[in-house]
């Protein structure tokens, strides 16, 4: 967001008013004119002075040509004498003598700085034309005398006067709001820059239309909404949508972050809320955008510190200002958060936030539109089809799609290419989601073999089972935190999951451990991520989805991501200990059934598993079509080249998934390391 304060009145609404430099310039001129005058005075005295050599000075002294002089003693260099004075004008003769015109009173000033030898020093003091003098220390003494007063005046100015004047930044103005007014001429973001969230854009477009023509709605009795809460996952474009509202509307627009209200001093947050609304009332109609409102809008009464804390006072002030006794129309609050579950119920009621807009992850059409918006700033090759990339990026947010194009541009620049091709876009897609390939990682042949069999087990079961998503690729090249990856992409938008699908997902996660045991006759830690993923799926089936015949359609326990420690400590279990044991048995039963299903498939297809593993050891990466060919025919057709295989990778997947894609449902074996949980 822009930080410009150009449209703010002189009462420092943005807290960034600058002190005019005129006063400072006046003081600099006063202090600088004093040494300037003294310097010019000295220059006036020295104008026309003649510098001379030692011999010339000795000549005028011994011939009594000096009319007056002064020997200045400098304690810093006592061996040197600075001599100034005047001598009569004379005319040198060819025989070494000189002549002085009678009655000629012309005196020429001179200046010399020399060490006086004993003979010359005796001649100087014996001529009675010289007197002793002290160096001119008036300027230094003057500055020493006024320096204490300058320091005291500066301290008074900076610690008192300046702090009072500069509201919002001084020690006496912590209660001033940090909301920044967005200048319309500097905000070039409009609805043309927002794509993939058409429903949300339509709702906020109505708000902009209301601000431009309120009578159109008021003649039917409609009232302007007081608040709009935008809810969505990180990176879906909530803040971008707010900037677009500011770019489209003619109203004043203030922006602030929820964390800007909370300060180290008690009462500052509530004071800033009141000051922000005071500024807004002077600029009605206006919009106030609060980003990450969950920083101050969390539910009251939770936590171990009691209810009378700083955040609750700030929230109380916000509630009163939005819909209390002393409220005025014309101020619209737009807030954004990705944690609506932690917000206080009083903040969400109609009259405060009248409308809640959900900004979802984009579907296939939305992803293509977002890619086209961001592609305006990069140079794409003529053969690039963004629709193919959109089909191959289910579950990507707008921020991830923007990062995808940026990474593709960096890859193309690194390869000295003049434009971005499909190969760079597809490689960037895998890098954004699963991490960059770590080809420099040193792996022993034994580790490569175990990793290849592990990933081959996942890939084989993924292709054979009916209710899994199509295999995208399988690789033993380390990527991100994993030593190998098995990647699958959904064919279409995933709106819900079936029991058979989740049971097959558990079986796929078990395939790696089973295949690994076949080749090494031992276990390793590589299946830790698989076990974690399988346990999470099975427990969700039993406790939340009612997919257990023994426990029935009952929800056991609440969501475990509730963030308030105090509530967690005081909340008891809503099921008995015997039920907890039954839940554990059901979770283990589902995992054991998946293990047996995977073990049966691998035992019956041992030769195909071995062919997949050996092909991985030779080529490192196989796409879904190549694995399907091995499973169906028992033969393997090697790719023409590594780069061609990488390009064919996603092309085949894109053709299979032409109706694809939406919310994230990418199954990635977190690798043979077990350090990164898979996405399920």
The residues assigned a catalytic role are: 455
Residues in the chain: 680
Give the DSSP H/E element, type plus range, for residue 428: helix 422-434
Q: Which helix (H) or strand (E) holds 131?
A: strand 130-133
- Phi, psi angles (nearest 5°) of residue 111: -150, 135
Angstrom distance (rounded) from CA 426 to CA 389: 7
Prior bond of 373 cis (ω within 30°): no
Strand partners, 487: 473, 668
Distances (CA, A) of 97 to 55, 62, 91, 92, 310: 14, 12, 9, 6, 98
Q: What angle do CA 161, 164, 169 make, to 5 degrees?
A: 120
Question: Are β-strands 66-73 and 81-88 bridged in parallel, bridged antiparallel, or unpaired?
Answer: antiparallel
Report the C-alpha gap between 289 and 227 in whole angstroms: 10
Assess contact for 420 and 389: CB atoms under 8 A.
Answer: no
At 15, list the tokens: 């807290």
Closest alpha carbon to 674 in 494, 474, 526, 517: 526
Structure tokens at 620: 């490192």
Say how far apart CA 461 and CA 609 lie, in whole Å.
Answer: 9
Per DSSP, the chain holds a count of helices (H) and strands (E) of 23, 17
Going by C-alpha positions, the residue among 57, 51, 85 that lies closest to residue 70 is 85
Cβ atoms of 214 and 170 within 8 Å: the answer is no
Own/partner long-range contacts of 115-119 (Cβ < 8 Å, ≥24 apart): 115/79, 115/80, 115/81, 116/81
8 A C-beta contact, residue 194 and residue 241: yes
Locate 74 and state its tokens: 């400098």
H or E segment to which residue 286 belongs: strand 286-291
């Amino acid at each position: 967001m822009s930080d410009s304060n150009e449209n703010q009145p002189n009462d420092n609404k943005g807290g960034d008013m600058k002190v005019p430099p005129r006063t400072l310039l006046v003081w600099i001129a006063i202090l600088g004119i004093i040494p300037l005058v003294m310097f010019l005075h000295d220059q006036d005295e020295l104008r026309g002075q003649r510098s001379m050599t030692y011999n010339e000075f000795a000549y005028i002294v011994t011939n009594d040509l000096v009319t007056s002089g002064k020997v200045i003693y400098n304690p810093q260099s006592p061996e040197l004498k600075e001599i100034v004075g005047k001598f009569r004008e004379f005319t040198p003769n060819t025989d070494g003598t000189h002549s002085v015109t009678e009655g000629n009173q012309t005196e020429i000033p001179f200046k010399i700085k020399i060490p006086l030898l004993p003979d010359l020093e005796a001649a100087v003091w014996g001529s009675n034309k010289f007197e002793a003098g002290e160096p001119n220390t008036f300027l230094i003494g003057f500055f020493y005398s006024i320096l204490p007063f300058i320091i005291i005046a500066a301290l008074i100015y900076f610690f008192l006067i300046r702090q009072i004047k500069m509201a919002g930044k001084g020690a006496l103005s912590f209660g001033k709001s940090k909301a920044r007014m967005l200048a319309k001429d500097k905000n070039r973001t409009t609805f043309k820059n927002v794509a993939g969230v058409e429903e949300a854009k339509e709702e906020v477009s109505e708000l902009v239309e209301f601000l431009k023509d309120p009578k159109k709605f008021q003649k039917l009795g409609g009232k302007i909404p007081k608040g709009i809460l935008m809810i969505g996952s990180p990176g879906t474009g909530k803040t971008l949508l707010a900037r677009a509202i500011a770019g489209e509307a003619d109203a004043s627009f203030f922006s602030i972050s929820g964390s800007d209200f909370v300060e180290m001093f008690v009462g500052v947050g509530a004071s800033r809320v009141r000051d922000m609304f005071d500024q807004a009332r002077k600029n009605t109609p206006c919009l106030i955008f609060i980003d990450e409102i969950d920083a101050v809008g969390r539910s009251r009464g939770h936590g171990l510190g009691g209810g009378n804390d700083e955040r609750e006072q700030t929230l109380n002030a916000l509630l009163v200002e939005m819909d209390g006794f002393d409220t005025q129309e014309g101020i619209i609050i737009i807030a954004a958060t990705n944690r609506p579950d932690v917000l206080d119920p009083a903040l969400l009621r109609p009259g405060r936030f009248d409308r809640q807009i959900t900004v979802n992850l984009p579907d296939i059409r939305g992803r293509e539109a977002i890619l086209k918006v961001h592609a305006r700033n990069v140079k794409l090759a003529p053969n690039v089809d963004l629709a193919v990339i959109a089909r191959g990026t289910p579950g990507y947010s707008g921020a991830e799609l923007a990062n995808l194009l940026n990474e593709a541009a960096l890859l193309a620049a690194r390869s000295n290419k003049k434009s971005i091709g499909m190969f760079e876009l597809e490689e960037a897609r895998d890098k954004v989601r699963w991490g960059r390939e770590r080809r420099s990682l040193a792996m022993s042949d034994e580790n490569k073999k175990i990793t290849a069999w592990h990933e081959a087990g996942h890939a084989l079961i993924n292709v054979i089972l009916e209710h899994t998503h199509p295999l995208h690729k399988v690789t033993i090249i380390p990527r991100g935190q994993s030593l190998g990856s098995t990647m699958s992409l959904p064919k279409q938008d995933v709106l819900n999951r079936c029991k058979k699908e989740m049971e097959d997902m558990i079986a796929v996660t078990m395939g790696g451990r089973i295949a690994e045991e076949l080749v090494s006759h031992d276990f390793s830690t590589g299946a830790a991520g698989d076990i974690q993923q399988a346990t999470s799926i099975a427990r969700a089936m039993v406790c939340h989805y009612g997919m257990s015949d023994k426990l029935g359609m009952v929800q056991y326990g609440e969501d475990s991501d509730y963030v308030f420690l105090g509530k967690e400590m005081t909340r008891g279990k809503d099921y008995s200990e015997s039920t907890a044991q039954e839940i554990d048995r059901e979770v283990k039963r589902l995992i054991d059934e998946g293990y047996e299903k995977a073990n049966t498939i691998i035992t019956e297809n041992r030769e195909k598993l071995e062919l997949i593993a050996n092909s991985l050891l030779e080529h490192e990466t196989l796409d879904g079509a190549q694995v399907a060919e091995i499973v169906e025919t028992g033969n393997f057709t090697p790719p023409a080249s590594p780069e061609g295989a990488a390009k064919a990778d996603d092309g085949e997947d894109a053709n299979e998934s032409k109706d694809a894609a939406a919310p994230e449902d990418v199954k990635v074996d977190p690798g043979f390391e077990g350090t990164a949980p898979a996405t399920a």
